[in-house]
Amino acid sequence: MKIKAFAYGTFLISGLFFVLNTAFADGMLIAEPPRDVIIERPFPGPQPLPVKYHRVKIDINNGVATTSIDQVFKNDYDVDLEATYMFPIPEEAAIKEFVLYMNGKRVSGEVLDKDKARQIYEDIVRRMKDPGLLEYAGRNMFRARVYPVPKHGETRIEIVYQQTLNYDAGVYKYVYPLNTEKFSPKPLEEVTISAKVASKVPIKSIYSPSHEVDTKLEQFNASCGFEAKNVRPDKDFVMYYTVSEKDVGLNLLAYREKAGGEGYFLLLLSPGELDTRAIDKDIIFVLDTSGSMDGAKIDQAKQALRFCVNKLGEGDRFNIVSFASGVNTFRDALVDATKDNISSASDFVGKFQARGGTDINSALLTSLRMFGGSKRPRMVVFLTDGEPTVGTTNPNDILKNVADANGVKARIFIFGVGNDVNTHLLDKMAEVQRGVCEYVVPGENIEVKVSSFYSKISEPVLSDIKLDFGKIKVKDVYPVTLPDIFKGTQLVLFGRYEGDGATAITLTGNVNGSEKRMTFEDKFPAASTENDFIPRIWATRKIGYLMSEIRFKGENKELVDEIVKLSKEHGIMTPYTSFLVLENEKDYRSWGIRGVDADSVKLEGMAWKNSMAREVGASAVSSSANIYDMKEKKIAYRPALDTIKHIGDKTFYLKDNVWVDAKYAENLKTIEVKYLSGRYFELLRQNPRAAKYFAIAKNVIIVLDGECYKITE
């Protein structure tokens, strides 16, 4: 049975609870020191046993989730051990099964209600002087005694619990506590999470802001998964899925710390089963056959092109353009994707030879003229491995010529092969022409990369998208230009908003050559703190766009200042912050960047900063990839250094052994609260949201609801 694990940190040993400074998460097995036994290795005291593997299986049926956890713990000592397994239970969950056999007998456990659990949690914190358990306050607790844990052996524990998921305006949210960074004494050999969703109402989208997951979406079923080896998981697994009877799913998540404050939103847009087939499209493949493509590159490119042509739909039209010093076309105009035309196109591709220069300008202008007055989705897939060397070679002139020629607004998807391409030219062209630029670095297989990407964009479903948010004013929305949506994909949009309340969101898009208009009712909250991951992902995307502007237009003080401000507030390292922060020791310490090689961090930041100005070379390609990744970010950013912590919507920096809220300023009036005092616990009872911040350490400065608190020993 596969299961998922819970509970970070409390365990009963010889009548004494042992607490780890960790966040709520997976089950732990805490062993106590063996009594009256001499062992080869020292056993310093109660300690968690290492986890061999941690497997989680999630089955969700119409909003009811069954989570199964399977863990194996290892005893590396040469003696049997006594231990206690214990974990907090989600407030809305019920234990369905606990499986553990010792000497052939099934071990039982007990569930403590949240009132009793709170007393235990606070009592442990007082006696052990460790705040890590505070985050569990207000939750129920499960515990079980385990004996023996065999020497040099393994103990397997399985748990199943069930819960009804929170549902709001078509959105279900599931959270699995997986924050085990300080939990296991060794990295986990294996962590796997698999989730399956079934629904009577059509499923429109599935999204995780916490982990990179593989997803599969069908009408009434969806799934996603995550797998890692030799890791210490450091954040909870969060998954959203949306349901709707409408053709298109549009769902809103929002975050606003308090009424009148900064509002942030995430919009998920998915076509679902909008149409039984993809929209017929017009597509032109443009391939560089200059001399530098000789060898494996041209062979792989030809195979990739054959794959793309063979994936064309029956109603599609296409053409192929090859270019070197001159331009050569498969046909003079677009042709239907018939079997005969596809076969002839394959023969045409087979004759390509790599020789001559690189006339990018003529190739693209020739291609764009073929679209005529087409109303279908229009695409150009363009592959090149070099800079323009023939004909018009000035990048700015090429960009202007392409913009002037592209009256039909065809999307241009670009593949830059190797390190000799002009990244500024290709990136800017893809941005302006509403496409994407990807790079195939030396050693990567062109055929695999191009084929994989084309599979994602080969079936457009909804094109020329526009959104109107009604009475709500939105700003700083990313992506800036809304892309087309392809079959099996979804649009993930981040932005900021002003105002609040119910509003009509109008979606306009092109489906099968006809404009489709849909209206959705949704609500922007005056205050909502549940989706606290949204501001950080939004900030990451904005930084990516600001860096892109600097890269193309040069440094501007206003843009740099905005990058530094966002970076510091959200704990996102950039070439500017890593460079500027290290200018003097005071700034260096104030950012909490300690315990690392200062010179190497500074040099790395300078190198990244300098590479932004380069147009050609490995560093330019790397810089382009970094900026693109930030602009498209969909999961929460992980701190670059151990002295930076992301807790909910807040960022903390370690300064003089105190974790300091990024929103703290020296002129703020500070209320000092003694750690473990009556006032300390009273604050936690009055504001349960503070628990996750107080659990960071014994010494914390935090700005909360307009008040600044300094927790100190």
Q: Residues 710, 671: contact at Cβ < 8 Å?
A: yes
**Model confidence pLDDT, tens digit, residues 534-549:** 999 999 999 999 999 9
* Residues sharing a CB contact under 8 Å with residue 655, sequence separation 6 or more, in sequence order: 589, 590, 592
Per-range mean pLDDT, top range of 15-19, 57-61, 200-204, 585-589: 57-61
Q: Say which residue, 85 or 468, is predicted with more confidence.
A: 468
pLDDT band at 14 (very low <50, low <70, confident <90, very high): very low
State the distance between the two ends of the chain, measured CA to CA, in whole angstroms. Answer: 46
- Whether 307 and 366 share a structural domain: yes
Which tokens hold the place of 66?
Answer: 């069954």
pLDDT band at 137 (very low <50, low <70, confident <90, very high): low
- Whether 569 and 548 share a structural domain: yes
**Nearest CA-CA partner of 625 in 636, 612, 638, 642:** 612
Question: Is residue 636 a part of any domain in this protein?
Answer: no
Q: Residues 313, 278: contact at Cβ < 8 Å?
A: yes
pLDDT band at 138 (very low <50, low <70, confident <90, very high): low
Sequence-ordered alpha helix ranges (H) in 492-641: 534-553, 557-570, 575-580, 585-590, 598-611, 618-631
Question: Is residue 649 a part of any domain in this protein?
Answer: no
| Residue type (1 letter), 182 | K
Whether the pLDDT of residue 8 is over 90: the answer is no
- Whether 339 and 309 share a structural domain: yes
pLDDT band at 681 (very low <50, low <70, confident <90, very high): confident
Question: With pLDDT > 70 as the criterion, what percentage of the chain qualifies?
Answer: 84
Question: Is residue 646 a part of any domain in this protein?
Answer: no
The CATH number of residue 316's host domain is 3.40.50.410
- Whether 506 and 612 share a structural domain: no
Task: Return the pLDDT at 40.
Answer: 66
Unique residue bearing structure tokens 């050609």: 616
Total domains, the chain: 5
- Whether 476 and 506 share a structural domain: yes
The CATH number of residue 56's host domain is 2.60.40
Whether the pLDDT of residue 631 is over 80: the answer is yes
- Whether 271 and 359 share a structural domain: no
Q: Say which residue, 618 or 210, is predicted with more confidence.
A: 210
Question: Domain ends where: 430, 458, 486?
Answer: 458
How many alpha carbons lie under 13 Å from residue 471 in its C-beta half-sphere? 10
Unique residue bearing structure tokens 């764009």: 368
Per-range mean pLDDT, top range of 10-24, 392-406, 485-499, 565-579: 392-406
What mean pLDDT do residues 414-426 have?
89
Residue-range definition of the domain harbouring residue 262: 249-276+461-524
Task: Return the pLDDT at 580.
Answer: 43
Task: Return the pLDDT at 16.
Answer: 29
Question: Is residue 691 a part of any domain in this protein?
Answer: yes
* Residues sharing a CB contact under 8 Å with residue 558, sequence separation 6 or more, in sequence order: none
Question: Domain ends where: 474, 504, 524?
Answer: 524
Pairing state between β 263-270 and 221-231:
unpaired
**Cα–Cα distance for residue pair 81/14, rounded to 1 Å:** 12
Q: Residues 18, 128: contact at Cβ < 8 Å?
A: yes
- Whether 264 and 376 share a structural domain: no
Task: Kindly report the length of the chain.
Answer: 713
Question: Is residue 348 a part of any domain in this protein?
Answer: yes
Backbone conformation region of residue 15, classed left if phi is above 0, alpha if psi is from -120 to 50, else beta: left
Q: Could you give the strand order of the β-sheet that contains 47-48, starting from the edge strand earlier in sequence? A: 47-48, 28-31, 81-89, 140-149, 110-112
pLDDT band at 124 (very low <50, low <70, confident <90, very high): low
Q: Residues 216, 222: contact at Cβ < 8 Å?
A: yes
**Model confidence pLDDT, tens digit, residues 239-280:** 999 998 888 889 999 999 888 888 999 999 987 655 546 678
- Whether 483 and 561 share a structural domain: no
Question: Is residue 606 a part of any domain in this protein?
Answer: yes
pLDDT mean across residues, the chain: 83
Is-above-0.95 flag for pTM? no
- Whether 479 and 563 share a structural domain: no
Lowest mean pLDDT among 49-63, 136-150, 226-240, 305-319: 136-150
Whether the pLDDT of residue 449 is over 50: the answer is yes
Whether the pLDDT of residue 288 is over 50: the answer is yes
Task: Return the pLDDT at 25.
Answer: 39
- Whether 572 and 696 share a structural domain: no
Task: Return the pLDDT at 278.
Answer: 66
**Model confidence pLDDT, tens digit, residues 368-388:** 999 987 778 899 999 998 889
Backbone angles phi, psi at 128, to 5 degrees: -95, -10
**Cα–Cα distance for residue pair 453/413, rounded to 1 Å:** 10
**Model confidence pLDDT, tens digit, residues 299-353:** 999 999 999 999 998 889 999 999 999 999 999 999 999 999 999 999 999 999 9
- Whether 224 and 161 share a structural domain: yes
Backbone conformation region of residue 209, classed left if phi is above 0, alpha if psi is from -120 to 50, else beta: alpha
Lowest mean pLDDT among 185-194, 279-288, 309-318: 185-194
Question: Domain ends where: 458, 474, 507?
Answer: 458
**Model confidence pLDDT, tens digit, residues 408-418:** 889 999 999 88
Question: Is residue 213 a part of any domain in this protein?
Answer: yes
Task: Return the pLDDT at 132.
Answer: 61
Task: Return the pLDDT at 666.
Answer: 80
Backbone angles phi, psi at 466, to 5 degrees: -135, 145
- Whether 27 and 156 share a structural domain: yes
* Helices 339-350, 296-310: inter-axial angle, 10-degree rounding: 180
Question: Is residue 29 a part of any domain in this protein?
Answer: yes
**Cα–Cα distance for residue pair 11/146, rounded to 1 Å:** 11
The CATH number of residue 500's host domain is 2.60.40.1230
Whether the pLDDT of residue 211 is over 50: the answer is yes
Task: Return the pLDDT at 29.
Answer: 80
**Cα–Cα distance for residue pair 601/592, rounded to 1 Å:** 13
Whether the pLDDT of residue 594 is over 50: the answer is no
| Residue type (1 letter), 402 | V
Task: Return the pLDDT at 320.
Answer: 96
Distance (Å) of CA 93 to CA 67, 105, 139? 10, 26, 10
Distance (Å) of CA 295 to CA 327, 354, 421, 496, 617? 21, 8, 18, 49, 20
Whether the pLDDT of residue 606 is over 80: the answer is no
